[in-house]
Amino acid sequence: MSLEKIAVLIFIAGNLMVLGIHQLLTKDSSEISRRMKKLTAKTFRQRLAQSGHEDTPHTTWRQLLERAARIFAKRGISKRMEVELTKADIPLRGEEFVVLVLLAGFGCTLFFLMLTLNLTFGVMAGICGFIIPFLLVRIARQKRLANFNAQIGDALVIMSNSLRSGFSFLQAMDMVRKELPAPISKEFGRTFKEMNLGTQAEEALQNMAQRVKSDDLDLLVTAVLIQRQVGGNLAEVLDNIAETIRERVRIKGQIRTLTAQGRISGFVIGLLPVGLAAVMFIISPGYIMTLFTSRIGLMLVAAAIFSEIIGVIFIKKIVDIEV
């Protein structure tokens, strides 16, 4: 390891040690000061402010994030990301997420630039820092959607039995909110509150369908809206929908089992070049760096990335079968 790298690591370690010692020494005094301010507050408003908005590290970082996010408050990307964050049930505003993405990208760039003293690796790390938050949001949204679809069959059974017991549709939704766990209880509870606050049932159900973006929920909402217009036995309709959803889940499970080999093959093929490049960089950095220092090497890397993306897309199209 070169002297520059050792100097950078010693500098970072020294700063972290000083900050840690300072935090340990001032922790008790700051806690005593906070309690004294709370006890000596003259008005109820001041006491409420001291008790409800304490100057904790969490609230401090939250305030800094909110101030920085005002720059992107009216941008189109902030509004689009806020929709995606709502679907993923992440308690952030769109502009706050944009600020976090920028911090992650520039932070990764500076960190790896100081660690390796190589601009190429710093830029690559920054690009990964920009992309990873979007991937995490997408994974959280897909996971939440899968959990919601797994619970909707039980929700329909509860609603159907509630309607047969003499409950209204609103009371049946309240039963789902009370009996089932998140995420379906949270979405049904939000729709239930919208109806209680005066929103039309059709509009509240459509709002829930827009938030969740589930095919099974769209089927439920469409059936309920049609039944409210033309009439009929809603409990029987919900039983039929529940049976359809259960059959769809069974078929999806069979398809997932039959396409498991193809999905694993795509996963291995997608990660094999990246893993091989990492191993070559560890074993012989000078040999692999030729790809990043010459024009022909950069063209080959670009062609390899393009071919990799095309191959992953084709494999995904093959194994993803719509039901």
- Structure confidence at residue 39 (pLDDT): 46
Q: What does the alpha-carbon distance between residue 235 and residue 121 come to, in Å, rounded to a whole number? A: 60
Tokens encoding 65: 């994030």
> pLDDT tens digits, residue range 221-261?
998 888 888 888 888 888 988 888 888 888 888 888 888 88
Percent of the chain's residues with pLDDT above 90: 5
Contact 245, 156 (CB under 8 A): yes
Band (pLDDT 50/70/90 cuts) for residue 22 is: low
Q: Which residues contact 118 (CB under 8 A, 6 or more apart)?
A: 112
Q: What is the pLDDT of residue 314?
A: 83
**Residue 151, token pair as written in the block:** 């619970």
Place of tokens 């990307």: 77
57, pLDDT greater than 60: no
Contact 323, 248 (CB under 8 A): yes
pLDDT on residue 47:
43
Reported as a pLDDT band with limits 50, 70 and 90, residue 31 is low
Mean pLDDT score of the chain: 79
80-to-2, 88, 222, 257 alpha-carbon distances in Å: 45, 13, 26, 35
3-state secondary structure of 290: helix
65 and 99 Cβ atoms separated by less than 8 Å: yes
Read off the amino acid at residue 313.
I
CB 187 within 8 A of CB 207: no
Is a pLDDT exceeding 60 seen at residue 30? no
- CA-CA distance, 306 to 99, in Å (whole number)? 29
CA–CA distance, 160 with 172 (Å, rounded to integer): 8
Q: Which of 128, 108, 110 is nearest to 274 (CA)?
A: 128
Q: For residue 152, what is the DSSP state?
A: H
What is residue 33's predicted lDDT score, i.e. its pLDDT?
Answer: 61
The tens digit of pLDDT for each residue in 37-54 reads 554 444 434 444 444 444
Does pLDDT of 72 surpass 70? no
pLDDT band at residue 304 under the 50/70/90 scheme: confident
Helices (H), the chain: 3-39, 44-52, 57-69, 76-88, 94-116, 119-164, 169-179, 184-196, 201-212, 215-230, 234-258, 260-283, 285-288, 290-293, 295-319
pLDDT single digits (tens) 139-195: 999 999 989 988 998 899 999 999 998 898 889 989 999 999 988 999 999 898 888
Pick from 63-67, 126-130, 246-250: least confident: 63-67
DSSP, res 72: G
Q: Which residue has the higher pLDDT, 34 or 185?
A: 185
Overall pTM surpassing 0.75 (yes/no): no
